[in-house]
Chain A
Amino acid sequence: DTAVSQTPKYLVTQMGNDKSIKCEQNLGHDTMYWYKQDSKKFLKIMFSYNNKELIINETVPNRFSPKSPDKAHLNLHINSLELGDSAVYFCASSQGLADSYNEQFFGPGTRLTVL
């Protein structure tokens, strides 16, 4: 059973396009996250939702908009894609109110390439 799943795994698109990445977790967790991992493997949090409520919103261009239709799903929509958006995007989830002691479970990642 896949705990945290993401689709698609690979996404290749042209500059200026709009794209979405979907994430689902079947762990019954309350909190979900989006991370960006750049070409040097640096992991940085972008957003966090708890029970569909946005609780962390890092300094991210407003072209990025997360949406949580329910607590098991957290999608990421990106408008007007730029070359610098090329990265691997990871979804993660944890139990509870983003309590730091709760293990975060990561999805397999979505490799976004903007041409």
Chain B
Amino acid sequence: QQQVKQSPQSLIVQKGGISIINCAYENTAFDYFPWYQQFPGKGPALLIAIRPDVSEKKEGRFTISFNKSAKQFSLHIMDSQPGDSATYFCAASGTRGRGSTLGRLYFGRGTQLTVWP
């Protein structure tokens, strides 16, 4: 069973446009939601993360929006650049003392983002 559902599978955006990737989860034990960026031939690297006590987190051109009641969160990339072309993974995990989600990162299936110049 897929713990975190991610869409779209692929996304093509013009340079300067906004890229939006959506994720949804069911397990209410999740309380940490990171996004990872992976370039071809490299390992994933943490891009930005959010905890459910806030509804939005912004770091430069990257923003996470979080909707706790809907159990959804999304990544917005403003002014998308060709260098942003990569695979993006949302993930979710639970804190200590919350059962089987402890310490495990459950990844979405990834979104292949292509930004055209």
Q: Footprint of B on A, CB under 8 Å?
A: 4, 31, 40-45, 48, 55-56, 90, 92, 97-101, 103-109
Range for the number of chain B residues in contact with chain A: 20 to 34
Given A4-B43, A41-B87, A90-B43: A101 touches B95 (CB 8 Å cut-off):
yes
Residues in A with CB closer than 8 Å to B94 are: 100
Task: Report yes or no: B110 in contact with A107, Cβ–Cβ below 8 A.
Answer: no
Which of B31, B93, B107 interacts with A42 by CB under 8 Å?
B107
Given A41-B87, A41-B109, A103-B34: A97 touches B44 (CB 8 Å cut-off):
no
Which of B31, B38, B101, B103 interacts with A48 by CB under 8 Å?
B103
Is B18 close to A, CB under 8 A? no
Q: Footprint of A on B, CB under 8 Å?
A: 31-32, 34, 38, 41-46, 49, 51, 87, 89, 93-96, 101-105, 107, 109-110, 112
Task: Report yes or no: A104 in contact with B46, Cβ–Cβ below 8 A.
Answer: yes
Q: Nearest residue in B to A40 (C-beta to C-beta)? A: B109
Q: Nearest residue in B to A41 (C-beta to C-beta)? A: B110
Task: Report yes or no: B109 in contact with A98, Cβ–Cβ below 8 A.
Answer: no
Residues in A with CB closer than 8 Å to B34 are: 103
Task: Report yes or no: A97 in contact with B103, Cβ–Cβ below 8 A.
Answer: yes
Residues in B with CB closer than 8 Å to A41 are: 38, 87, 109-110, 112
- How far does the alpha carbon of A115 sit from the alpha carbon of B101 in the complex, in Å? 35
